[in-house]
Chain A
Amino acid sequence: MMKNKFSEKFSAWLSGEVDLTEKIAEEKRTEAPSRISKKEEAEETKIIRSLEKKEIKLSFKEYKVLSVVFCVILIGILTATVYFLPTFASSDVPAVNEVYEHYVAQGRDETGAVNTVAGMILDYRAFDTLGESFVLFTATCAVLILMDDKHKKPKKEMHETVNYSRDPIVKSMAAILIPLILVFGAYILVNGHLSPGGGFSGGAILGAGFILYAMVYGDEQALKVLSERKIKVVTICSLSFYCLAKSYSFFTGNEFNGVHSVISAGTPGDILSGGLIMPLNIAVGLVVCCTMYSFYMLFKRGRMN
């Protein structure tokens, strides 16, 4: 009997016709038909809150058990799937096919990049990477819209942040580290077609360098170095450069219209090789760097200026 009642309640809760609030609202109506003083009202809401919490706790004991049971069942099903997968690390899997062979064997001569992954994501599948850059750009725009509190008057800094620029240890360490981090990020960007790394990792390192700068020397100082306007210009220029460059190689890559690309693949292994891969790596890296930095600024300040 009791169990039946609970299951009914649970199904009602699941289907969205929640009776948790209704009951309390009824109580409120019967108890206090007339308006009373504000103090009593506040007390009443307090009682209602505690009642609500109790109800939730009661109905969620079983909920937790159910979720654990669900987790175990799902692990069981997926373990059975793993049992039928091909053996780990064998070369006898469906993914090792002619596409893989072509990318590894002919990738270097076709794209000019020694790093096959860079050649793949920025030459064979460059439109995929373009889409990724636009995902990052869209995420920045969405966060900017969501975190925007320009309409409210700027509050005084609620949590007084410590100014580390006067701390001798932090300041001197940052003065040594930040240039090193930025140079290392630039190195990874420029060497993306020769060594592990590329636009995304290099851009993330560059962004980390700027975030460290903002943490140590304060947001105002950092925004003087990398302001909202600069971020806009850099992001838009990088994205449109990527679009134009890839449209060019898309147009000239077609062997039937008689137009040939003037950009050659170069000698594999040289720093200036790989055709468009190095400029594209730099463009992607700048977009990633600006995105990381603006995420930090938006979540910390709620605005970009």
Chain B
Amino acid sequence: MNLLENYEELVAMILFVIGFTMLVFSKNLLKKIIGLNIMDTGVYLFLASMGYIKDALTPIVPAEGEVNPMDYINPIPSGLVLTGIVVSVSVSALTLALCVRLYKKYHTLDLDEMYMHMKKEEE
């Protein structure tokens, strides 16, 4: 019963697992980065849905008068999502730059082929 009501969290979990599996099991470095971003999206969806309160407004309060906290959604997860998005942009850019460097050296994005080239270099 709780499962159907919590459908947003469920979707977030599925997104997270899809991204995680892609990150761990894909051999292509670019697909790994895409997986990492899908995983991030799952986390943001989870945080945003945890902060939501039914029939509540965005936390922009009127300039005057009393404020009843129960009229507004929880602003803390929104701030956390903001943090996460910025960090994920930086991480994506950094990993993509690393990918470019690796491709320039080994002319492949496949991890196993890259590993074989490294092995040959060692010999």
Contact partners of B85 in chain A: CB under 8 A: 200
The answer to whether B50 and A91 have CB atoms under 8 Å apart is no
B100 to chain A, nearest CB (A): 7
Instruction: Give the interface segment out of A3-11, A79-87, A253-261.
Output: A79-87
A residues 124-171 near B (Cβ < 8 Å) are: 125, 128-129, 132, 135-136, 138-139, 142-143, 146-147
Interface string of A75-116 (1 = CB under 8 A from B): 100110111110111110101100111011101100000111
The answer to whether B7 and A88 have CB atoms under 8 Å apart is yes
The contact size tier of chain A is 35 or more
Decide: A67 near B21, CB < 8 A? Known: A138-B90, A295-B93: yes
The answer to whether A95 and B61 have CB atoms under 8 Å apart is no
Decide: A195 near B79, CB < 8 A? Known: A74-B20, A85-B6, A104-B69: no
The answer to whether A200 and B86 have CB atoms under 8 Å apart is yes
B residues 53-68 near A (Cβ < 8 Å) are: 53-54, 56, 58-64, 67-68
Across the interface, name the chain A residue whose C-beta is closest to B10.
Answer: A82
Decide: A96 near B74, CB < 8 A? Known: A83-B2, A105-B67: yes
The answer to whether B76 and A91 have CB atoms under 8 Å apart is no
Contact of A128 among B7, B58, B64, B83 (CB under 8 A): B83
Contact partners of A82 in chain B: CB under 8 A: 2-3, 6, 9-10, 13
- Decide if A14 is an interface residue (CB 8 Å cutoff): no
Give me 18 other A-B pairs in contact (C-beta within 8 A), A18-B119, A75-B17, A91-B56 excluded: A20-B112, A68-B21, A74-B20, A79-B13, A87-B5, A88-B7, A91-B54, A95-B77, A96-B74, A101-B69, A103-B59, A105-B68, A114-B63, A121-B79, A143-B94, A194-B60, A196-B58, A295-B93
Decide: A99 near B76, CB < 8 A? Known: A52-B116, A139-B93, A200-B85: yes
Contact partners of A117 in chain B: CB under 8 A: 59, 75, 78-79, 82
Decide: A87 near B90, CB < 8 A? Known: A95-B50, A146-B101, A195-B60: no
Chain B positions near chain A (C-beta within 8 angstroms): 2-3, 5-10, 13-14, 16-18, 20-21, 24-25, 27, 49-54, 56, 58-64, 67-70, 72, 74-79, 82-83, 85-87, 89-91, 93-94, 96-98, 100-101, 112-113, 115-116, 119-120, 123
The answer to whether A88 and B67 have CB atoms under 8 Å apart is no
Chain A positions near chain B (C-beta within 8 angstroms): 18, 20-21, 25, 52, 56, 60, 63-64, 67-68, 70-71, 74-75, 78-79, 81-85, 87-91, 93, 95-96, 99-101, 103-105, 107-108, 114-117, 120-121, 125, 128-129, 132, 135-136, 138-139, 142-143, 146-147, 194-196, 200, 267-269, 288, 295, 298-299
The answer to whether A115 and B6 have CB atoms under 8 Å apart is no
A131 to chain B, nearest CB (A): 9
Contact partners of B18 in chain A: CB under 8 A: 71
Contact of A108 among B21, B51, B61, B120 (CB under 8 A): B61
The answer to whether B9 and A88 have CB atoms under 8 Å apart is yes
Contact partners of B25 in chain A: CB under 8 A: 63-64, 67, 70
Contact partners of A125 in chain B: CB under 8 A: 79
- Report Cα–Cα, A113/B50, bound state, in Å: 24
Contact partners of A116 in chain B: CB under 8 A: 59-61, 72, 75
